[in-house]
Structure 1
Amino acid sequence: MSKFLSFVILCIATTVVYETSQGQTRQSYTEGMSSPAVVESATEALTTTTETTQTTDEQLAETAELPYTISAFDPIMRKVGEEQGYDWRFMSAIAYNESRFKEDLVSSRGAVGIMQIRPVVARHFNIPVESLSDTETNIRVAGMLLAELDDLLNLPASISEQDRLSIILASYNAGIGRIHDACRLARSEGANPHSWADVSRYLELMADPAYYTRETVHHGKFNGSRQTLGYVREVMKMYNKYCTMAS
């Protein structure tokens, strides 16, 4: 499948919906029609979920006596990470933020499992929707989506790993169309479209009509920058912490 065709299919097939802590719902769109309906982000659950009352440090301390380092899913994360070319600790950080490693979690929007994958994403990859309840399949689909976004972003080899992963995460959360808009804005003003610091700044500016009405912005106003930047920050924070715990 060509890169262009894959991009068009992903855009048409997928939509990401995420809820604010005030219970409001926003929807963002990718290039074409809609953004990757990867997951319903659980960023807000960091403060609102009643089921996760322990602090992260307490949770991590409990693993010291267990036969795994980060979670009971370490072996699967390692396997899928190697298959898809991603650090298994990065995959684990996404899982923590999405579901707190709850493999039977189903959101009100239909997102399923440890990586909170929506059925439309499974269908995009020709994976039976019912198989999303299988944790290894759930993680594998997330890895496939990350790899596809990475390919579509076409980031240069010279980009730092922190910038690369942050931009991929933003695409995973907000939709690749929004990230392309921010990158084009950055480039048009002489900023670095491969720097997360610059890209994130233009994501925020895309709520301003002075920016979102420009020809370089193909998807209009974006009100979701706060949620997306918070998602990237929390996942990268956990990933960096996991890197100090496990190899």
Structure 2
Amino acid sequence: MDNSYIIAIDFGTAYSGYAFSLEKIEAEIEPRLKYWGQQVALRTPKTPTCILFDEHGKFLSFGYEAQSAYFKTRGDEARKKFFFECFKMSLYGKKLNSDVTIEAANGRSMKALKVFTEALRHLKEDALKFISENAGGKQFIASDFTWVVTVPVIWDPSAKQFMREAATQAGIVTAGKEDRLVIALEAEAASVWCKKLPADGFETENNSRVTFEQASGTQYIVVDCG
């Protein structure tokens, strides 16, 4: 199996998703996306960063499915569930370790490492399943890929290490394969993409063959309006 295969997970504050490429790294990579939301009559490149656990802390669902299932429950049943949304920035400004907890919608707490691990595990398993279903019968496992997980620029080293640990526990990387996980800064990833766009405008449909990277003296600013 070609280890130049890539899956990149955008673990967002409000929405999350992934893109993948089965092309050679040296080639001009055109990433492919999974679209979400069919069960709620939508087709979006990301799904809400929501995760649902049962009253015993067992993972139930993620994204639109978690959001829909939780909002359909009422009263005591809803209060028993652990529902987390927009939880990524709960890591910001905290001194992180494996015992740090975050609060669910019902006011009960769960270890942050478990919440992030199960979210990444779901995205990993969904990506492998989706790619295998669309690869002409070829089956893939996590070690076939180099994985990229994006993190905010403002996160300190402990938060980045926390995400690496969550990715490891989620089975994205295994012992001896740590180099297959790349923690990428969101702004830097956006900037790399911008450099590949046409120099006379960011429209990808533009016919210009000259990119920002090739245009001498061109300047641009990346602004995250998330």
> Scaled by the length of structure 1, what TM-score is found?
0.31
TM-score (normalizing by structure 2) = 0.33
Question: Which structure dedicates a bigger proportion of its chain to strand?
Answer: 2
